[in-house]
Amino acid sequence: MTKLKLGPIMEEKPVKATLELPASLHRDLTAYAEVLGRQTGQPVRDPVQLIVPMLERFIATDRGFAKARRAKPVGGPGS
């Protein structure tokens, strides 16, 4: 079986955000949730729950972002 990048989804107190998803993305999230549920043994009730862990994973593994985040701003206030 293929190993997915996401693991089990942790239940945490949510912060409300409203967004519109293209139908094709929602279908992909639904399919991903089904595969993830089979792989982890924990069904994902709402595929929208995948958005936050996916974004967290994306940010955590983006080397360019990590490098930019560590870099000191040049020419900022007080320079």
What is d(CA 13, CA 16) in angstroms, rounded to the nearest whole number? 10
What is d(CA 46, CA 57) in angstroms, rounded to the nearest whole number? 19
Read off the pLDDT band of 14 (50, 70, 90). Answer: confident
- The yes-or-no verdict on residue 8 having pLDDT over 50 is yes
Q: What is the pLDDT of residues 29-68, one digit of tens each?
A: 999 999 999 999 999 999 988 998 999 999 899 888 888 8
DSSP string, the chain: -PPPS--PPPP-----------HHHHHHHHHHHHHHHHHHS---S-GGGGHHHHHHHHHHH-HHHHHHHHSPPSS-TT-
Give me the pLDDT at residue 7, please.
Answer: 77
CB neighbour list of residue 53: distance below 8 Å, 6 or more residues apart: 6, 9
Give me the pLDDT at residue 78, please.
Answer: 53
